[in-house]
Structure 1
Amino acid sequence: MNSTNSIDPRVMKELLQLQMLSKMSLLSGDDTKSSSTDEANDFSELLQTVMGQASGSAAGTALTSQDAMSSLLGGASMTSVPSSLAALGKAYTPLQTPGKSFSTTSQYENIIQQASAKYGLDSSLVKAVIQQESSFNHQAVSSAGAKGLMQLMDGTGSGFGVTNPFDPQQNVDAGTHFLSNLVKKYNGNEGVALAAYNAGPGRIDRLGIRTDQDLADKLHLLPQETQAYVSKVFTHKRNFSL
């Protein structure tokens, strides 16, 4: 029974499934991160023993909050991040690593390309918004009731003809149309458009924010969620543009 060569393939399959479950558990809050990391490390050691391959890498280790924030900001030092963003970053663990290799993006590629061309937006920007809003989960529903890939509120969706917000084509078409209108409203200032997409154009207008420079000057007046949202979406956009 000590021979690793006698391992049942079905057992190996179960171990790999447990690894996936262990990684999924890392998405929970800081209270469970320590135990989840321990479980992931235990699994790595077990798998290395079974395969007879000792490795120094800790593939199952959870990202620290600074690792996550650094990744989202394109590798920028935490000391260069505004304090409001850094504070929010401490509680943020990305659902997926930003990049161009998401396995979930390919199934929506045609939809995104069509909507982007139709409404005159960079497809990388649309993908970045989808990544930040729903992590490409077309069935996502927020606590506020926003739905689908681009997290449309019912009122916004119906205004753009959406009858089923969970239908990827309807959702992406409407969300891209809405985002395009915001980019035009703010004369191509994408940062302001993204802030309006997250916080609502009414709040942006009341603060007199019209340009990206206005946004930088008054960013501290916006909710922390919105402050971080703009930076994260731009980081996703850069990664999708690579």
Structure 2
Amino acid sequence: MGIDPRTIKEMLQLQILSKSSLLSSGNSVSSDSGEEDNDFSSLLSSLLSQQQEQLPTTSAALGKLSSLSTGGPPASGITNRALSGPATASLNRYMQEQLAASKPTEFESMIQNASRKFGVDSSLVKAVIDAESSFNPRAESRAGAKGLMQLMDTTGQGLGVTDPFNPAQNIEGGTRHLSDLLVKYNGNHATALAAYNAGAGRVDRLGITNDSDLSAKLHLLPAETQQYVRKVMQLKQHYEA
């Protein structure tokens, strides 16, 4: 997985905003603009060093971007000064969060295999796993849902899952379940997610057959389901990046 181009765009926008004093208290570019440039370069360099082993090609391209944006060679590493100031500190936290979230998980190959096998977007599978278990294969809810995709025993058994704590089995079973729900609800993602969380029977009894119905009747579903659908849809957008 490459570095999200929008992340780079955000960095450049923040640098421009900083120079325009939108992120500072002044009304004009301060005399420390050179230091802000170096801060930006240092942050880029830090990102590159962490991504270098997995993404050599992207890292090289970003190295050029750093040089072009600062008018000189990329900084060799991040310094304490680069972490000072509210604007650069905020940018650093943002970049660290994006970097951590963009790394492929240890279950990447399993997710991709199940995605291809059952015709479900890998971004949706990842979003469900993230929301259900935060990628913890040993997760178990008080209700008895187990594993990465939090399958109930009866549901898992119907999907051919004999060990819900086995990552490959759980991902395959959960993805197959998602696929069945997407077929049932004609590819309406939000409706399928509501059924995944609350149960298809509950969704059907409310007369919800598509995302338009769901939007009108979402308030009739449990608060947990309402929050779940919103969260997974947001996570899906993130994993599509």
Distance across 1 between alignment mates of 2:144 and 2:190: 24
Distance across 2 between alignment mates of 1:131 and 1:148: 11
Is it true that 1:181 corresponds to 2:180 in the alignment? yes
In structure 2, the CA distance between the partners of 1:100 and 1:135, relative to structure 1 (3 Å rule), is farther
Distance across 1 between alignment mates of 2:104 and 2:214: 30
1:27-75 CA-to-partner distances (Å, cap 9, x unmatched) read: xxxxxxxxxxxxxxxxxxxxxxxx987845697xxxxxxxxxxx9xxxx
Could you tell me which runs of 5 or more consecutive residues in structure 1 were left unpaired when the two chains were aligned.
1-50, 60-70, 72-96
1:182 corresponds to which letter in structure 2?
A: L
Quote how far apart the aligned CAs of 1:176 are. 0.2
Distance across 1 between alignment mates of 2:104 and 2:153: 24
Is it true that 1:169 corresponds to 2:168 in the alignment? yes
Is it true that 1:193 corresponds to 2:192 in the alignment? yes
**Which residue matches 2:5?**
none
**Which residue matches 1:158?**
157
In structure 2, the CA distance between the partners of 1:109 and 1:224, relative to structure 1 (3 Å rule), is same
1:200 corresponds to which letter in structure 2?
A: G
1:181-227 CA-to-partner distances (Å, cap 9, x unmatched) read: 00000011111100000000000000000010000000110000111
Distance across 2 between alignment mates of 1:134 and 1:103: 18
**Which residue matches 1:125?**
124
**Which residue matches 1:84?**
none
Higher relative contact order (Cα pairs below 8 Å, separated by 6+ residues): 1
**Which residue matches 1:239?**
238
Alignment check: 8 A CA contact 1:152 1:165 kept: yes
Quote how far apart the aligned CAs of 1:161 are. 1.2
Is it true that 1:212 corresponds to 2:211 in the alignment? yes
SS for the counterpart of 1:106 is: coil
1:117 corresponds to which letter in structure 2?
A: R
TM-score by length of 2: 0.60
Alignment check: 8 A CA contact 1:104 1:136 kept: no
Q: What is the identity percentage for the equivalent residue pairs of Structure 1 and Structure 2?
A: 59
SS for the counterpart of 1:150 is: coil
**Which residue matches 2:227?**
228
In structure 2, the CA distance between the partners of 1:107 and 1:52, relative to structure 1 (3 Å rule), is closer
Distance across 1 between alignment mates of 2:216 and 2:205: 15
Is the radius of gyration larger for structure 1 or structure 2? 2
In structure 2, the CA distance between the partners of 1:104 and 1:149, relative to structure 1 (3 Å rule), is farther
In structure 2, the CA distance between the partners of 1:145 and 1:103, relative to structure 1 (3 Å rule), is farther
1:137-189 CA-to-partner distances (Å, cap 9, x unmatched) read: 00000111100000000001111111110100000000000010000000111
In structure 2, the CA distance between the partners of 1:138 and 1:104, relative to structure 1 (3 Å rule), is farther
Distance across 2 between alignment mates of 1:240 and 1:120: 17
1:5-25 CA-to-partner distances (Å, cap 9, x unmatched) read: xxxxxxxxxxxxxxxxxxxxx
Matched ranges for 1:1-242 at <5 A: 55-56=84-85, 101-102=100-101, 105-242=104-241
User: How many residues are paired up?
Assistant: 158
TM-score by length of 1: 0.60
